[in-house]
Chains A and B, each alone.
Chain A
């Protein structure tokens, strides 16, 4: 009860301190409402300028060192999640994030340190440090293999240009800095939109508001304070933890590979969806390291949002004829659609509208028997009889 009150007070304080947050949330019920424009959204010069700004942001991801305090609030069907953090970033790829506990916890701070090669996540509640080798940068890794050798970040911008209406809606001062407010509105139904506040001096995002495909605000993240290019010692990127902490090596995710390579590496044929939501392209795939059954992970993007499609040939004989489709929302705000078809497990994850993911899932037609020699019906019958007799009834 006490904690609940504290949580509510913190939320209220946040809302009072940062009026833009409450403003954003109100627009939930009024998606058509827009803040007053300084420039017209349809002005082509405005669009050009906005695109140029986001291009600079994309090119400079990670290049700006800073020290900051940040708040993230996520709204999702079961409720609200908020977290506050202290972040220190040293260009190009050293980052330390400490998440502040939401109550008077005796534990230390959940801390994540990443140096571009490895991520270390200290979880005080479990007395565990998770270590995960970082995925070789998904985009950079793929750029040489792509025709034309264009880095994907540039491709992303081209896709964003095609799929989103990018405009500068206004400028605003926040946390003592002056920022452009840029809106990215989807041209195709079912995709989330975004509003970003880009610092005028540095190509850096100070605040992000994400809206679901229904126009409701789904998350906001903003800096409470920030200092650019501060002085800091490398020592702060060392993890300061109590002794006797368990270290857990997390499985490595392999990098993104082109689809044909993925098809070669997987020991099953990967059924592809016939329907891909408008604007999306396939970036490539990842071979998942799940042990019991092989799974392939295919990534699709429209430049701003992404969809992950996981496919696993599953248990084969076990769920014959029991094809199912289920959807669920995850606390992080993503939608998950799962389908079981001819023994295949199909899972789609994304922030796009559930109906799009469902339609995509339903357009996947896995082959009945994959990579197996054709069998005689008698053999089929006998094998299943013997299987029942000797393997299941134990």
Chain B
């Protein structure tokens, strides 16, 4: 089966990086010979990648290691994990753990999940929820609220904050133009937006 332009375009970066199956690589290579549009799309992506390569490679600041060494020395690992310690204490501790595990779980499950905490400390999600609840009030100014909420969505998306919500899933597909045109021919049932979520 031949790939259409939309499909090819969505794979061009991976093609550029040779991160596709050999079959896909071949199909795209053939497509690019015939299709000027996709070829120029490919060229522009390649140039973009090349431009990124023009960034210089700064080296480590001189004080990097001396500072880090000082820090490591001033905050040593509190317990020495010597072999003896491990051999004697671990089994004993394991037994204690088994005995009181339920209690520990009850107190610390939440915190222990996060080696590096993902607890949201930014205020955007709160302000956004406030703004959205405001939208429904009779005297609210929907234009300015919409503007602020939109700005918040941009910030939150840009710093991965939406990922902290239940039910959020990483978008994996782009919306192909073909889906949109198909939708347009549907009967008059009102469609405010011309595309449906890609399955």
Contact = CB atoms under 8 A, between A and B. Distances in A.
Interface of A: 54, 57-58, 61, 70, 72, 74, 83, 85, 87, 94-95, 97, 99, 110, 112-113, 115, 118, 120-121, 123, 125-126, 128-131, 135, 137-139, 153, 156, 194, 196, 205, 208, 219, 221, 234, 237-240, 243-253, 256, 286, 288-293, 297, 299, 301, 304, 306, 308, 310, 314-318, 328, 330-332, 334, 336, 338, 347, 349-350, 372-373, 375, 379-380, 382-384, 386-387, 389-391, 393-394
Contact of B123 (A121, A128, A245, A328): A328
Contact of B142 (A95, A156, A194, A248): A95
B129 A286 contact: yes
A138 B110 CA distance: 31
Nearest to B104: A383
15 contacts: A58-B138, A74-B144, A139-B137, A221-B144, A239-B195, A244-B10, A247-B198, A290-B120, A292-B113, A316-B107, A316-B108, A347-B123, A387-B108, A389-B93, A390-B97
A156 B106 contact: no
What bracket does the count of chain B residues touching chain A fall in? 35 or more
Interface of B: 6, 9-10, 77-79, 93, 96-97, 100, 103-104, 106-108, 110-115, 117-120, 123, 125-127, 129-134, 136-139, 141-144, 146-148, 150-151, 153-154, 157-158, 162-169, 171, 173-177, 180, 190-195, 197-198
Nearest to B168: A251
A248 B173 CA distance: 10
A387 B126 contact: no
A293 B174 contact: no
A221 B79 CA distance: 62
A386 B107 contact: no
A286 B96 CA distance: 41
A392 to B, nearest CB: 9
The B interface, classified by DSSP as helix, strand, loop or mixed, is helix
Given A72-B144, A336-B123, A393-B79, A238 B191 contact: yes
B114 A121 contact: no
A310 B125 CA distance: 11
Nearest to B97: A386
Given A99-B147, A238-B193, A375 B103 contact: yes
